[in-house]
Structure 1
Amino acid sequence: MQTPLLFSLLLFLLLAIDDGDASPKHDLVRQSCVHATYPAVCLRTLRPYRSTAGTPWDLARAAVNVSMAHVRKTTEFLTKAKGSGQRERGALNDCVEEMADAVDELSKTMSALQELRRGGDFWWEMSNARTWMSAAITYEDTCLDGLEEIGGKVRSDVRKKVTNVGRVTSNALYLINLLHE
């Protein structure tokens, strides 16, 4: 009598443990992220979408949304950051503008992905999405370049956040590029 109860309990515990490998959609996340430029960042940021991202298109769209969220959060941080001198404040203000431009490019990317989903000209919309994602990465890199003139803790904190944004955006571009394969 105890054996079936023990077996049932063990089975229940095994099914309750979710390390992410049991879900086919998680497999899509894992398979898609494994060769990304920053696979650990890709997996960490997209794991929450494993239940809603059933196709590579869904996953690419989720990645762009994640990138936009990171850019917006970083922009909030930059807006609140206090530069100690005119040069630091100028670099921070420039970064805020660069991040706003990156959000614009990411929004255009989402529009192109929507057109792809509606059956628009695949190669045209794919080209647009790639171009706008690349532009967003360029804006993020430009923000980092502007930080070279400042130092201290502000530079270090901003560099960490903007570098993370760049990694998330780079992974989103990678996932968009997978759509044509």
Structure 2
Amino acid sequence: MEPKLLIILFLTTFLSSHVSSSTPNAQQNKYSTFVKTSCSSATYPAACVKALLPYAATVKSNPIRLVTVALSTTIKSANATLSTITRLSKTKQITKWEAAVLKDCVGDIKDSMDEIKSSIKEISGIPKSADKHFAISNAQTWTSAAITDENSCLDGFSDRKTMNPVIKQKIRNSIVNLARVSSNALYLINHLPV
């Protein structure tokens, strides 16, 4: 083989391998940028990016996938909140009134989770839906109802000031985190292109 041809072959192989190895990074950056841009005007932008950026490769640049992932992270957050409330409800230092409020709160979070699951079902059906606006409207309704239930949990604690402040703060932190994730999911649903 001629030296010139050998050099050309080497350079072609080197450049093509270099381009193909940089493509995944370029794609990943594109996907990360999509998530960051989508979250930039969300109700809680920092929480949105923190929750959704790890899923950029899954989401790619697909707004429906982004909403589905946002709702799925809401379910994860609701599960964590439910675990916290359930654990606190079993402590021996709580009063009967606190136990009743925590029991109501567990019910509120379970209702919220059911509503988020209904919202996921609506969003997942959009690609095949004959009426995409109706599916989005249903998802908005379910997600709004979930946020209302999350806030109902907090409302139960505001009736009395005698609640154990440590328990109250732990539940409040957990519910506030959940409500932020839910609000961001609702924002993304509201901004789905149809």
Matches within 5 A, 1:106-117: 106-117=116-127
Q: CA deviation at 1:21?
A: 10
Aligned to 1:88: 98
Aligned to 1:176: 189
Q: C-alpha distance in 1, partners of 2:192/2:79?
A: 26
Aligned to 1:131: 141
For the residue of structure 2 that corresponds to 1:147, the secondary structure is: helix
Whichever residue aligns with residue 93 of structure 1, its letter is K
1:121 aligned residue (131, 152, 157): 131
2:178 aligned residue (139, 145, 165): 165
1:58 aligned residue (56, 60, 65): 65
* 1:34 correspondence with 2:47: no
For the residue of structure 1 that corresponds to 2:106, the secondary structure is: helix
For the residue of structure 2 that corresponds to 1:52, the secondary structure is: helix
* 1:141 correspondence with 2:148: no
Q: C-alpha distance in 2, partners of 1:116/1:171?
A: 19
The worse-fitting range, judged by mean Cα deviation, of 87-96 and 166-175 is 87-96
Q: C-alpha distance in 1, partners of 2:27/2:157?
A: 41
8 Å CA contact 2:94, 2:164 repeated in 1: no
Normalising by the residue count of structure 2, what TM-score does the alignment of the two structures yield?
Answer: 0.80
1:67 aligned residue (74, 90, 96): 74
Q: C-alpha distance in 1, partners of 2:98/2:180?
A: 24
Moved over 4 A (4+): none
Q: Radius of gyration: which is bigger?
A: 2
* 1:46 correspondence with 2:56: no
Count of residues in correspondence between the two structures: 165
8 Å CA contact 2:35, 2:56 repeated in 1: yes
**Closer, same or farther in 2 for the Cα pair 1:44/1:106, shift >3 Å?**
same
Normalising by the residue count of structure 1, what TM-score does the alignment of the two structures yield?
Answer: 0.85
For the residue of structure 1 that corresponds to 2:58, the secondary structure is: coil
**Closer, same or farther in 2 for the Cα pair 1:158/1:27, shift >3 Å?**
same
**Closer, same or farther in 2 for the Cα pair 1:171/1:21, shift >3 Å?**
farther
2:110 aligned residue (95, 100, 108): 100
The worse-fitting range, judged by mean Cα deviation, of 60-69 and 77-86 is 77-86
8 Å CA contact 1:147, 1:159 repeated in 2: no
For the residue of structure 2 that corresponds to 1:36, the secondary structure is: coil
Structure 2 alignment gaps of length 5 or more: 1-21
**1:133-157, Cα deviation, whole Å (9 max, x unpaired):** 0000000000011121334100000
Structure 1 alignment gaps of length 5 or more: 1-14
**Closer, same or farther in 2 for the Cα pair 1:21/1:33, shift >3 Å?**
farther
The worse-fitting range, judged by mean Cα deviation, of 110-119 and 99-108 is 110-119
Q: C-alpha distance in 2, partners of 1:99/1:131?
A: 16
